[in-house]
Amino acid sequence: MPVRLGLVGLGVIGQIHLKMGAGLPDAAFTAICDVRDEVVQDTARQFNIAKTYTDANALFANADIDGVVLALPANLRTDLALRAFANGKHVLTEKPVAMNAGEVRGLIAARGSLIAGCCSSRYRSLPSAQFVTDFIRQGHLGQIRVVRCRAVTAAGAPPTKPPPVWRLRKDLNGGGILMNWGCYDLDYLFGVLDWQVKPQRVMAQTWPVAPVYQHYPAPGSDAETHVAALVHCDNGIALSYERGEFMTTQTDEAWQIIGNKGSLRLWLKDKAGKQIYFDRATETGTISEIIWQGDETSEQQHRGPAEDFVDAICQGRQPRTTLENALLMQTLFDAIYRAADTGVCVAIS
């Protein structure tokens, strides 16, 4: 019998989950929920879904539902996930998994033997990510020294409509660009390194949107649009991280892992003609070569978390990104915010 899924939250990402769910071979969305009844009914007709709810508790109480996908702002997810666990449901939660590390610890305590996955794994659903993971496991990089990400996006034309309110609201999303994109960046980098990078202390700074672009975010936005951090990790590894949007600089994106035998130049996002470079150390100098190339699509990365979640349920295994993995990232995020607020180096426990 296919895994029967319920979806809570019918905004943009919820609709994407339903579209991607149509292609899942071992699962189907059989119930949906949103507080907006007109959206629920329209969506039910579009996707031919029989069970509709405006109360998540009623969906969770449905014994015919095996697992739920939570696709709504972070400030609502932890309470819903706890109620879903209490009703014996497996849970796949959108990113960021929670508002802070304390909430993630609460989820871990309540999960029991149920499956809980995190959508921050999207970009590790792509074929190139699995190739990179295997390549690193084979020891080609040697001892890892530096893990880095610099991904800043130049401000384009003013948006024709404001971005979603939750994106840059501390009370709705726990933070700004760090919560929105940091979970993708670090899930990817930490994940391809098999979650062996363990942050110990951090220095960081965050900045709000530049005054010239203050009309770009949604009204009421109070979180950062630019973050930079230097993280000391165990085993002598340094993490250099910078993310920004609505920037007063040209777009620059690079993900890199540097070892004492060579380094990888990576590209997080899906795109046609994607290439992964290995810079290999030799006695006569460093040689660069393309070790993977191919076309990747947004459908692959959007379908990936649900595919992995369903397979984890069927196989009784852990999903690609567990709550423990999410806790590692969220603990670092909390420390980055403390370091930025206090101006001092913060130890990560």
The answer on pLDDT for 163 being more than 90 is no
Provide the H-helix boundaries in the chain.
Answer: 12-21, 37-47, 56-60, 74-86, 101-111, 127-137, 170-173, 177, 183-192, 298-315, 323-342
Closest by CA position to 337, among listed 247, 202, 180, 240: 202
Contacts of 119 (CB under 8 A, 6+ apart): 92, 93, 94, 95, 305
The answer on pLDDT for 281 being more than 80 is yes
Long-range pairs of 77-80 with CB within 8 A, sequence gap ≥ 24 = 78/103, 78/106, 78/107, 80/8, 80/56
Q: How high does pLDDT run on average in the chain?
A: 96
More confident residue, 159 or 260: 260
- Report the distance separating Cα 153 and Cα 183, nearest Å: 17
DSSP string, 108-144: HHHHTTS-EEEGGGGGGGSHHHHHHHHHHHTTTT-SE
CATH for the 3-122+302-322 domain, from 3.40.190.10, 3.40.50.720, 2.40.110.10, 3.30.2350.10: 3.40.50.720
Mean pLDDT along residues 146-168: 93
In the chain, the amino acid numbered 301 is Q
pLDDT at 22: 86
Peptide bond into 158 cis (omega under 30): no
Q: Are 6 and 59 in contact (CB under 8 A)?
A: yes
Mean pLDDT along residues 31-37: 97
Mean pLDDT along residues 48-56: 96
**pTM for the structure as a whole:** 0.95
pLDDT at 141: 98
Give the model's confidence band at 245: pLDDT under 50 very low, under 70 low, under 90 confident, else very high. Answer: very high
pLDDT tens column, 87-117: 999 999 999 999 999 999 999 999 999 999 9
- Domain ranges across the chain: 3-122+302-322, 124-297+330-347
What CA–CA distances, in Å, run from 271 to 33, 268, 296, 297?
A: 33, 9, 5, 6
Q: Please report, in angstroms and rounded to a whole number, the separation of the first and last CA atoms in the chain.
A: 43
The answer on pLDDT for 308 being more than 90 is yes
Mean pLDDT along residues 135-146: 98
Share of residues in the chain with pLDDT > 70 (%): 100
User: Is CATH 3.30.360.10 correct for 124-297+330-347?
Assistant: yes
pLDDT at 280: 96
pLDDT at 39: 97
Mean pLDDT along residues 278-292: 96
Share of residues in the chain with pLDDT > 90 (%): 96
Mean pLDDT along residues 34-63: 97
Mean pLDDT along residues 267-278: 96
pLDDT at 302: 95
